Structure formats: structure tokens, C-alpha cells
Amino acid sequence: MRLRKDGKAYDGGDAIVTALGQIWDEVSEIDYGSEMEHQANYSIGSREATSWSAGKVSHNGTISMLMKQAVALEKAARGNLLNIKPFDINVTFTDEYNEVVNDTITCKFASMGRTVNTDMGLSRQYNLFVLYNDYNNIL
């Protein structure tokens, strides 16, 4: 397959993360997803499924940020990220044609702590309690 000259992909450098009224420019990674329960239904007289059902939808997510961002949030939350009420995180991507993709994660912090090592630019991954993921919505 040949590389198209006019086909630039979305990149992490093209993404902007905003939450709580500010751009969070110290985020190094954000990961979020949704899953739906599925079940095969069986009927008398058949060893194979004859139908299927869909159940509950659950959402998940994590966010990794540099210590500078985490400390600023902790100060605003009086030292405890776990006490911040649910809020929206918007992740917005723009490609070279100015086509915008915006995802909104409604969540709250489910973990806090420190990761201290010998790396430059200390960062930590925080678990999010995600209430809802709204994919490719319009701002």
C-alpha cells in the first residue's frame, strides 16, 4: 500500500484536553472507552444460540498527567482529588482540513497518589470513575 501524500492522520499533538474551565496542557495520555454486556440466548431443541441480548453499558477511563498539573488540581481541591464532584473532560482533535472530533468524558477522580522515580518530568496515571462517554459530539 502506498502512502497518500494528502492523508495526514490525527496525532496526539493535534489534541487539546480541557476541563474545569481550563486547557490541561500537562496531560501526557488520556484513555477512555465504553463496553456493553452481550449474551447469547438458547432455545429448547438447539445447541446453538437462537438470539442475543444486549445489557448494561459501562464506561472507563484513565488520565496521565505531569506533576505540575496534578499539584495545581490538588491545590484547587484542598489537597484531595477524590472530593472533586463529577465534571466534563473534553478531548478535541483537529486534522489538517479543520475537521473537528470532540469527545466528552463525564467523570470524577477515582484514585490519587504519587509516582516518584528517576525519570524527568514526573507523571502519574489516575483512574477515573466515568459516568458517561459522549463520542464525536458537537460543542
Under 8 Å between Cβ of 65 and 112: no
pLDDT at 74: 93
Provide the mean pLDDT of the chain: 89
What is the DSSP-derived secondary structure letter of residue 110? -
Count of C-beta atoms within a 10 Å radius of residue 107: 24
DSSP H or E run through 41: strand 27-42
Q: What would you report as the CA-atom Rg of the chain, rounded to the nearest whole angstrom?
A: 20
The confidence band for 5, taking pLDDT boundaries of 50, 70 and 90, is low
Chain segment 88-125, per-residue pLDDT in tens: 999 998 877 777 889 999 999 999 998 888 878 889 99
Identify the three-state secondary structure at position 73. helix
pLDDT at 94: 82
Under 8 Å between Cβ of 73 and 86: no
Domains of the chain: 12-134 (2.40.30)
The better pLDDT of the pair 1, 125 is held by 125
24 grid coordinates:
490541561
From CA 20, how far away is CA 108, in angstroms rounded? 11
From CA 109, how far away is CA 61, in angstroms rounded? 10
pLDDT at 12: 74
Residue 139 reports pLDDT greater than 70: no
What is the DSSP-derived secondary structure letter of residue 11? -
Would you give the distance in Å from CA 103 to the centre of its chain? 8
Chain segment 62-89, per-residue pLDDT in tens: 999 999 999 999 999 999 999 999 999 9
Chain segment 29-75, per-residue pLDDT in tens: 999 999 999 999 999 999 999 999 999 999 999 999 999 999 999 99
